[in-house]
Each structure stands twice: as structure tokens, then as C-alpha cells.
Amino acid sequence: MSPRLRRGERPFPPDERLPEPPRPAGLVLDARLHLLDRQVVDVRGDPVAIVDDVELEERDGRVVATDLLSGPVLATRVFGGRPPRSRWHRVAWRHVTEVGVVVRLGVRGETLDVLWVERWLREHVVGRVPGGRHDPE
Amino acid sequence: MTTRRSPGRVAAALAATLLVGLVGLVGGCAYGPSSADTSAALTMTAALDEAASAVEVGLLVVELVDTDRTTTPVADGTLRDALLEVGSASGSLADALPPRHLQDARARALDAVADATAALTDARAWVNDLAGGSAHDLTGALSDAADAVDAVTADLEAAA
Amino acid sequence: MILSDLLDARVHDAAGRALGFVVDVRLVLDGPPDGVLAPPRLHGLLVSPRTGTSFLGYERTDENAPAVLARWFRRRHRGTFLVLWDDVAASGTDEGPGVVLRDGYRRWDPALPPHRGA
Amino acid sequence: MKKFLAVALGVLTAIGGFVDIGDLVTNAVVGARFGMSLVWVVVVGVVGICLFAQMSGRVAAVSGRATFEIIRERLGPRVGGANLVASFLVTVLTLTAEIGGIALALELASSVERRLWIPFAGLAVWLVLWRVKFSVLENAAGLLGLALVGFAVALFQLGPDWGELVAQATRPQVPAGEPVPTYWYYAVALFGAAMTPYEVFFFSSGAREEKWTAKDLSVSRANVLIGFPLGGLLSVAIAGCAAVVLLPRGIDVSTLSEITLPVALAGGKVLLALVILGVVAATFGAALETALSTGYTLAQFFGWSWGKYHRPAQAARFHTAMAVAVLVGTLVLLTNVDPVAVTEYSVVFSAVALPLTYLPILVVANDREYMGDHVNGRATNALGLVYLVVILVASLAAIPLMIATGAGG
């Protein structure tokens, strides 16, 4: 069971009709519903990472998302806690070109540091086994 | 103010589980002194069933080889599997600790399974062309072993 | 700050009354573009009396099928409301106080605007 | 014409690919113990896998999202991660069983001991994953697996009392001498054998491998709706052979060699050789599918680059994961565990792990953001909900039944 308020402690009647909020001018995203845990693909459509978390920052009195995070932050979303800032792998929001069923980037994944494990395995293991760099037949 | 699952409920669930477990244990013992007999008899009949199944496999393989319907590797592999089964049956029989009045039945069960093992090894030698004899003789030996196994099984079921 | 600092955090009003948990964070892409898209601005928090199972999305969209599932998940999230970020007085990052709303905050209907624009 | 060929090829590979070591062993065990009285479970399982594969294939073709991407996105990292652990373990267990099945079948074909075949089988599986194109791999394994039709031929040649078999199947009863929980335990096992999670991971990821779009939906639907039921008939034939030959003799199936006895009796050496070839092909094909599925699930959960359409170096983590899974399966078998026993556990745990994979697909198949006009119809949703209940019940009952019956004892 996930945490919840007990029935008697709920401050408001559950079936109350609430007013419609002021309609904002731009695209509306609910982070969990539309952004978190979605696949990030690069400009060619190759998978880069999953949006494991999002970094927010205060700018001119507004709080905005600056980077998508991936890697060790996943473990802390599962088990709780918070990884040290030095271990966040970031993809800057300015690379994002589209948020739909996937999050699309305008750059090649190769240029991003989130892919270091993939690159390491390619250089040191998979690429060295005969046939590793050939198309399947 | 918030509950992760109130301790009261956890305790209740634990208590319920324990209770069910206890009832199961007591229920299991409710047969009284005869329960040990029953369990030994059950172990032994299960082992005899396994041996009976293996002997039937042997009979079928001999028939298939005799009518040239199977290959030597398949026949050999099948008999080896059957031999593993009688081996395991004999192990379970030896391992059981039946009460006094079932000791005689256990001895006969071990004999029957030993006969089955011998008949199956003969069949395997014959299949691999390492022994003479006819399919008829082998079938006879296997059938006798099957009868012996069945007889002990019937006795055990009557006694239990 | 990262999103998971906010998600699942406890929400209280200024008087210390527990209101529920942050089940989602509403972002709006308005303002000047950063690259191709505007950076998502933190618009508000969705607060529900219970956490978890907010993932299926039924509670805030007009998806209705299969009806039995949609009804069940909606029922579980009755009482969810939206508060705007301007109404948030403090958001502690650690176990501390969680999110505290300012006096006179307003609760809004949590449904997403029907057309998400593009 | 081209479309007809595509459907024909797809149907044939679906039939040949349907039966794996799980179906083979479970159906033979059940046939030898319960006759045809559990055939209804195969029917329930086949309808279920048709529904599930069809939905996941449609989601993959229309939205481009394979099953585990959907699971991660809808269930989040915690529940999705728990599902990943469960599904991954079950798939590795199934992979182990399939590699064992290859070794057992080769042992029968050659009389070289199976322990010597195990490393060879593992290596062959890895080599094919490493070098062979997806379409070749899928079609070759499926077509060779068709040799299992030998079981159906055998059943006809045995000339059973069809009326009796049909009566057993249509008026199912728990046979005398078999405890009721054992009957239900094997019902769950058969259901798990027909509806293994890896089939869905493979099917939906395969749609991406072959770059399906909404235009391919009719072909894929035909493959599933014709191929899987025919594959199910093959399963029933395996149970039928066991029911006709092994049940009356009191033979309990615990080895692969016993499963082939009815075939030899009915069709002699030629049919026997054909069926052994079919077993090798079917288990080999399923070993490839399960190994790929281990890679698919991990890669899709963590957002790695995946797929056989890449060179291995372009999907380095995906290929590393598969190689490790094959290695683990091979090493487990080398400890001398009985592959048939591994199979029996793998099908039951498949049933346990299914609900968390099924629910997100059912939900997303109704989401217009993903599916546009291709959302589920009313009939599909009605059936989908019925199966949600069936899958939940089977999953919850599996472990208690396993304990109560001593795994079928």
C-alpha cells in the first residue's frame, strides 16, 4: 500500500467540483504523465536514454526545467535518497525538439555524455569480438 | 496522520497466518499414531509407481526395437532415462523408515525394483547389440518385474 | 532541485493541516524558446489524498476505455486538485516539511486542457 | 500475391514458433496424467496469447513503442523495475530450459551425452544472435519447427478412439486418483506455457525490428489469428499422443525421450527423426527468442539502443546483456540440473509474472495519444478485461498451488 491520508483525515469532500484553472498560453505537460520515463531518441531516431528525472532551476522568478537527467538518478527514484550532483548525467533542454510519445533531440546521441557505458563497451568489448562491427547476414 | 499500513493490521495478518499454519499442523497430526505409517507407505507407493512407469517404458522400447520402429540412440537414451528412474525409486525405498509391520513389504519392494533394474540393464545391453537373447525373453523379464512391483504396491495400499 | 524532490512529497497548508501528496507536476511551455522549444515552466502541483498508481493517466485525461479500469482508477484519485506554483510558500527538498501552501491558496480542477496544443 | 506470401510465411513461422520446450513438456506431462481433460486450458491460453500478442503488436506498429518501453513509462521505475526483475528472471529461466531442450534433443539424435552438447548449444545460440539477420533467424527457426507436425501425424496414425478423446476434452473431469489441487496446478502450468511473457516481448520488439507500420497490421493480425491457433492444435496433438500411448501404460513423463515414444510407435524411424529435428529447431528458435527478449527487456527499460537491425557495436549494451544471459543459462545447465524440471518451473513462474506486463499494454492500447484511430474496439476490450481477471487469478493461484501440491508431485 502506498502512503495515503486516512478517510477521516481528508480535508475536502471527495466529490467536490473544482473550478477550471486559468488556461496557460503554451503546451501543458504533466511531468509524470508526459515526460518522466519516456524514451529519449536522437536526431536519427536512435535511443539515447530514458528521462529518469528532470533538473529545475529558478530563473527570473520562474522555476524552469533546464536538463533531462539519466543514469544513477534512476536508482534513487527506486530506492529513495539523492545521488551527488557530480553523478548526474544531463541532456540540456535546448537539445529537445519534440515531446510526444518519445522525447526527440536535435543532435546525435554520440555527442552526449549519457552514452559513456555504451561507448566503453563498444570500444573495449563488443567492437573487439570478430563480427562485432559488421552488419548481420 | 498518514499510514504506511497500520501496525495493527500487520499484526492481525501475521496472527491469521500463524493460526492457519497451526491448524494445518494440528490437522496433519490428527491422524494420530498411524500418520507416520501412512507417510512411509505413501513414499513407498510413489517410488513403486516411478519404477512401474520405468518398466513400462522398457517394455515399449523393446517392442519398438523389435519392430524396427526406433533408432539405437533413441532407444538407448530412453532406457538410460528409465534406469535413472528405477535408481531414484530404489533410493527413495531405501531412505524410507517404515514401521515394523511394513518392513517386510519394503524388502519385497526393494527386490522388485532390483529385478526391474536388472531387466532394464539387460534390455539396454540387447538394444546396443552387446548381449544375445530375444525380445520375447526381455519382455518376459520386464513383465515379471512389473507384476512384482504391482503386487507389492497392492499390498502396501491394502496395509495403509 | 530535481523533479523527484517534489514528487510524492507531503503537502500541508499554512496551518499545518495535511492535504495529501504531490502526484504530478504540471509544466507549461510558454516564455521565450531555449533551443527549439520553450523551457518547461513549473506551473503547478497536482495533489492527491493518496500517492501511487497515478501513472495510468485516466484521472486527468478523457480516456474512457476500458470503462471498468478507467472508473476504478478515477475513483482511487477522487479528491485530486491542482495548486498553482505561486500558491506554494515553501518546498523543502529533504524529509523536512515537504510542500507548504500559502494562506489563501486556491484549488483547481486537475483535468488537463482537452487539446494539448502542439 | 506478395501480401499472400507474407501472410503464408508469417502463419507458418507462427505455427512452428508457437511450440517451445514449455509447451512440449507440459502438454506431454499433462496428457500422460490427465488425458485430454485439460485441453480447455490450451484453448484459453491460445485465445489469450492471440489477444495479447495482437494488442502488443498493434501498439508497437502504430506508436513505435515496444512492450517494455510501455511498461516503464506507465508503471514508473519502481513497479516497472519490479516487473523487469520478475520478467527478466523468468525469461532467463525459460532460456535455460530451451538450451537444455536443444541438448536433450541432440542427445537423442546422437547418443552423445547431453552434458557435452550444452556448451555447444549455448555457443551456437550466441553465434546466431551475433551474426544472423533477424528475418533469417525468425523464419528459419519457425519453418524448421514445423517438423513438430509429426506429433499430429502420429496421433492420426495411432488411430485413437476419437469419440473418447473428444468426450474427455469437452466434458473435463479430474481423473480418478489425481488430487484436485494437482489438476489445477497443471491447469496453471499449461496456461503459463501458452502465455509466456517472452513471446510478447519478442513479438512486439520484432515488429520494431521489421519496421512495421499501421499498414502491416492486417498481415500481423492474420499471422497471429491463424498461426497461433494452429500452433495450439500442435500442442493438443502432443497431449493427445501422450494420452493415447502413455496414459494407459501408466508411464509418467519426466524426460524428453518419453515424449517421443508415441511418435516412434506410430510412425517409426522416419517420423521419429522428423520430430527430433522439430524439437531441435523449436527449442533452438525459442532459445533465440528468449535470449533476444532478455536483451529487449533490459534495453527498453533503461533506454539503451537495441535491435538486430543494428550492428552489434551499435547496440553494445544490448548484445552484452544477451551474451551474459546465454552464458548464465549454459552455466546453470552445466550444474547438472534437469532441463525438464527447469521447464516445469519456468512455465509456472511465467503465469506468476504475467499481470504486470499485461495491464500496461491493455491500457496503452486504449490511449489515443499513442494509438490514434487504432485503439481497441469494444469487443477487444471486453475480452481484454475477462483475460485481465483470468491472468490475475492464475498468477495469484500459482504459488499456493505449487506449495500445496509439491510442484505437481
- D120 versus D76: the higher-pLDDT residue is D120
Interhelix angle D355-364/D67-110, rounded to 10 degrees, is 130
Phi then psi for residue A73, to 5 deg, are -65, -20
Residue of D nearest to A134 (CA): D311
Cβ separation of A3 and B4 shorter than 8 Å? yes
Closest partner CB to A121 (pick from D132, D133, D320): D320
Cβ separation of A9 and B3 shorter than 8 Å? no
CB B48 within 8 A of CB B89: yes
CB D45 within 8 A of CB D280: no
A77 vs A33, B140, C5, C96, CA distance in Å?
16, 70, 10, 18
In-domain check, residue C19 = yes
Using the Cβ of D257 and the Cβ atoms of chain B, whether some distance falls under 8 Å is answered with yes
Fold of A29-128: SH3 type barrels. (2.30.30)
Provide the β-strand partners of residue C22. C47
Q: How far is C88 from chain B (nearest CA, A)?
A: 21
The whole-number average pLDDT for the span D361-387 is 91
Q: How far is A1 from chain B (nearest CA, A)?
A: 7
Closest alpha carbon to B33 in B78, B83, B100? B100
Strand pairing category for A47-50 and A53-59: unpaired
pLDDT of residue B8: 44
Closest partner CB to D268 (pick from B50, B52, B69): B69
Domain containing B12: what range? 1-30
In-domain check, residue C8 = yes
Number of Cβ pairs < 8 A linking chain C and chain D: 28
Closest partner CB to A10 (pick from C1, C34, C49): C49
User: Subunits touching B (CB < 8 Å, at least 3 pairs)?
Assistant: A, C, D
Amino acid at B145: A
A16 vs B154, C72, C79, C109, D304, CA distance in Å?
74, 18, 7, 10, 44
Residues of D in contact with B52 (CB under 8 A): 250
Total domains in chain B come to 2
Cβ separation of A134 and D311 shorter than 8 Å? yes
Cα(D327)–Cα(D313) distance, integer angstroms: 19
CB D304 within 8 A of CB A126: no
CB A121 within 8 A of CB D316: yes
pTM, full prediction: 0.90
Average confidence (pLDDT) per 10 residues, chain B, 160 residues: 40 49 42 61 91 97 96 95 95 91 92 96 95 91 96 87
Q: How far is B58 from chain D (nearest CA, A)?
A: 10
Query: For residues D231-263, b (16+ Cβ closer than 10 Å) or e, as one string?
Result: bbbbbbbbbbbbbbbbbebebbbbbbbbbbbbb
Domain containing C82: what range? 3-101
Per the structure block, which three cell numbers stand in for D25? 513438456
Neighbouring CB atoms inside 10 A of C32's CB total 6
Per the structure block, which three cell numbers stand in for A76? 534513487
Amino acid at D288: L
pLDDT of residue D79: 87
Closest alpha carbon to B60 in B82, B45, B89, B87? B82
Total domains in chain D come to 1
Going residue by residue through chain A, which has 137 residues, state the pLDDT in tens, using 9 for 90 and above. Answer: 467 777 777 788 877 888 888 888 888 998 988 899 999 999 988 889 999 999 999 888 889 999 999 887 788 788 877 777 777 788 999 999 999 889 999 998 888 877 888 888 888 888 888 888 888 87
Domain containing D205: what range? 2-405
Closest partner CB to B5 (pick from A1, A5, A9): A1
Same domain, yes or no: B21 and B71: no
Same domain, yes or no: B132 and B91: yes
Q: Does the pLDDT at position C54 exceed 60?
A: no
Cβ separation of D366 and C66 shorter than 8 Å? yes
| pLDDT band per the 50, 70, 90 thresholds, residue D278 | very high
pLDDT of residue B30: 38
Task: Please name the helix (run of DSSP H) or strand (run of DSSP E) that holds residue D54, with its range, or none.
Answer: helix D39-63
Q: What CATH number is attached to the domain comprising B125?
A: 1.20.120
- D41 versus D70: the higher-pLDDT residue is D41
Total domains in chain C come to 1
pLDDT of residue B55: 97
Same domain, yes or no: B122 and B101: yes
Beta-carbon-side half-sphere exposure of residue D329 (alpha carbons within 13 Å): 38
Same domain, yes or no: B21 and B73: no
Using the Cβ of B5 and the Cβ atoms of chain A, whether some distance falls under 8 Å is answered with yes
Using the Cβ of A33 and the Cβ atoms of chain C, whether some distance falls under 8 Å is answered with yes
Using the Cβ of A29 and the Cβ atoms of chain D, whether some distance falls under 8 Å is answered with no
Same domain, yes or no: B115 and B62: yes
Residues of C in contact with B2 (CB under 8 A): 10, 18
Same domain, yes or no: B70 and B95: yes
Cα–chain center distance at D143: 16
Using the Cβ of C44 and the Cβ atoms of chain A, whether some distance falls under 8 Å is answered with yes
User: Subunits touching C (CB < 8 Å, at least 3 pairs)?
Assistant: A, B, D
Cβ separation of C66 and D367 shorter than 8 Å? no
**Interface ipTM:** 0.84
Residue of A nearest to B5 (CA): A1
Torsion of CA C68, D353, D14, D256, to 10 degrees: -140
Q: What CATH number is attached to the domain comprising D23?
A: 1.10.4160.10
Q: Does the pLDDT at position D292 exceed 80?
A: yes
pLDDT of residue A9: 76
Q: Is A125 helix (H, G, I), strand (E, B) or coil?
A: coil
Phi then psi for residue A19, to 5 deg, are -70, 150
Residues of D in contact with B53 (CB under 8 A): 250-252
Cα(D224)–Cα(D51) distance, integer angstroms: 9
Phi then psi for residue A72, to 5 deg, are -60, -20
Closest alpha carbon to D353 in D201, D224, D225? D201
Using the Cβ of A50 and the Cβ atoms of chain D, whether some distance falls under 8 Å is answered with yes
CB within 8 A of B98, min separation 6: which ones?
Answer: B37, B40, B41, B44, B105, B106
- C94 versus C118: the higher-pLDDT residue is C94
Q: How far is C112 from chain B (nearest CA, A)?
A: 28
